[in-house]
Structure 1
Amino acid sequence: MTTSLPLDDVATAFLELAELVYARDEYDDIHDAICRAALRIVPHCDHACIATLRGGHQPHLEATTDDVARRVDGLEWETGEGPCVDAIVSQRFEWDPDLTRDPTWPRLASAVLESTPVRGMIGYRILVGDRKAGALNLFSDTPGGFDEAAANLGAVLAAFASVALTAKDEHDVATNLRTGLASNREIGKAIGLLMATYDVSDGDAFEMLRTTSNGLNLRLAEIAGRLVDDHNGRANETAS
């Protein structure tokens, strides 16, 4: 079975993904967008999901198009086999176009055929930078629907997903760094104010902040920010 999609449709889907990644500052919905794009880009793809490894070994379902994909992903980890499980450690995509004929993963195939409409599946490894981050799973309800052309289109999407998620990861790191630097500046200002006000050492001033933070169950940076804001407010009142 040979299948194809109009090139304009495929190009449009990739352009929309590229805009999502490079024309915006928010990446919260990138996993969902990749899964939705799979249904448009890959012929006979009816369900999709992205699973990542948390802490290097704990699987986490980042996004799914529907309950069928969620169910199959869960069955993969329950049986310990399947395209997602294999793709994470493999250098290539893992592919079984027809689960009804000599399946690659017999235990998984039996469970999937019994409880879902899925009849074919492909798993692609996703990398973030040079780290193995997880897998993009595609599922088809059509036996043999995932031919070589479909599998190759999925591979292109998976490569794009790796680039997009690397961009997201770098954005998150930069955001966390900026937040951390801003918090550290506020804490430093607060320590300086306490040292000047109470004639204490920097260690004692930090301990005052920490004790207040624990007592109010608030983050240290938030306590420091409030202290600095209060000081600035009183200074402005005095100046006026």
Structure 2
Amino acid sequence: MEQNLPLDELSTAVGRIKGLLLTEEKVDRAVQILARAIKDAIPGTIGAGVSLMDTHGRRTSAGFTDRVVQRADALQYELGQGPCLTAWAAEETVLVDDVRTDPRWPQWSAAVSSLPIRSVVSAALVTGKECIGALKIYAALPAAYDPGTGQLLELFAAPAATLLSHIQTSEAPHRISENLQTALHRRDTINRACGILMERHGLNHEAALQHLMQQARERDTTLVQLSAELTAGTPADRN
């Protein structure tokens, strides 16, 4: 039976954004499509957003699915602190188990205390040697996300960064770059491997992804290489 994997939402979003490239529509529309795809793909998420930033961390464009995301993001930029800005500055994924107890951004945490936000994940949008922004998701419950969720968001970030960079720089808007094709191939390979493990072991997608990551670490190989071996029929999964 065919699995409807969460990351299929990304394929749909990419297809729609290719159309935006063809018609040279603005980047605002692209980030809005991505935000909706992310929210739909990750269970427990009450809102998602995409922010593009300049070299000083100032927001230049944003897409969000809900007003609560808009408000939480606006407070980050007003206060100059928060998980999204940290993800951008450090070029890494930031996981927040509980906004109310996390000590990293005291002003922002206090400012959003009245909002229905407890858990957050934000992933950097890195293209080439530049970080152009961040993706973020919010949940109403504490500990709603784990490191596997961060990995899932990163799978969105790779092709998303390349797409948005294309639109921003207007480089060959009718073509999708080799880097994007590579990122999408990586995502599809991992997605197919997760599907095999889901069917084989009765796992959900996030558990299958965690299993793959653990196996990759134990065998000192990459997640993509392990996934490719599994989908090619190599006995990569021995457990």
Q: Scaled by the length of structure 2, what TM-score is found? A: 0.62
Corresponding position of 2:224: none
Ranges in structure 2 where 5+ consecutive residues have no aligned partner: 174-239
Deviation at 1:43, TM superposition (A): 2.3
Aligned partners of 1:32, 1:102: CA distance in 2, in Å?
28
Distance 1:159 1:45 in 2: 20
Q: Secondary structure in 2 aligned to 1:142?
A: coil
Q: CA deviation at 1:51?
A: 1.8
The answer to whether 1:113 aligns with 2:113 is yes
Opposite residue 49 of structure 2, the aligned amino acid is C
Partner residue in 1 for 2:160: 161
Moved over 6 A (4+): none
Q: In 2 relative to 1, CA 86–7 (structure 1 residues): closer, same or farther, beyond 3 Å?
A: farther
Secondary structure (helix, strand or coil) at the match of 2:71 reads helix
User: Tell me, which stretches of 5 or more residues in structure 1 are unaligned?
Assistant: 1-5, 176-240
Could you tell me how far apart the structure 1 residues matched to 2:161 and 2:3 are? 22
Structure 1 CA distance, aligned partners of 2:50 and 2:5? 22
Q: Does the 8 Å CA contact 1:47/1:68 hold for their aligned counterparts?
A: yes
Q: Report what 1:143 is aligned to.
A: 142
Measured against aligned partners, the alpha-carbon deviations of 1:46-78 in whole angstroms (never above 9, x if no partner) come to 112222224644323421112111110111122
Q: Which residue of 1 aligns with 2:123?
A: 124
1:18 maps to 14
1:43–1:150 Cα contact (<8 Å) kept: no
For the 8 Å contact 1:41–1:153, the answer to whether it is kept is no
Q: Of 8, 18, 22, which residue of structure 1 is paired with 2:4?
A: 8
Superposition RMSD on alpha carbons, in Å?
A: 2.4
Q: What is the CA–CA distance in structure 2 between the aligned matches of 1:167 and 1:7, rounded to whole Å?
A: 31
Inter-partner Cα distance in structure 2 for 1:97 and 1:160: 26
**Partner of residue 219, structure 1:** none
Distance verdict in 2 for CA 1:95–1:78, change over 3 Å: same
Taking every aligned residue pair, what percent have the same amino acid on both sides? Answer: 22
Contact 1:128 1:169 in 2 (8 A): no
Partner of 1:43: 43
Count of matched residue positions in the alignment of Structure 1 and Structure 2? 168
SS of equivalent to 1:60: strand
Partner of 1:34: 34
Closer/same/farther in 2, CA of residues 101 and 63 from structure 1, 3 Å limit: same
Greater Rg over alpha carbons, structure: 1
Aligned residue in 2 for 1:75 = 75
Q: CA deviation at 1:173?
A: 3.8
Deviations 1:5-45 (A, max 9, x none): x9514143122022123455135321111100111112222
Alignment deviations for residues 95-124 of structure 1 (CA, whole Å, 9 cap, x no partner): 11212334432221121112x111111221
TM-score by structure 1 length?
0.62
Partner SS state of residue 136, structure 1: strand
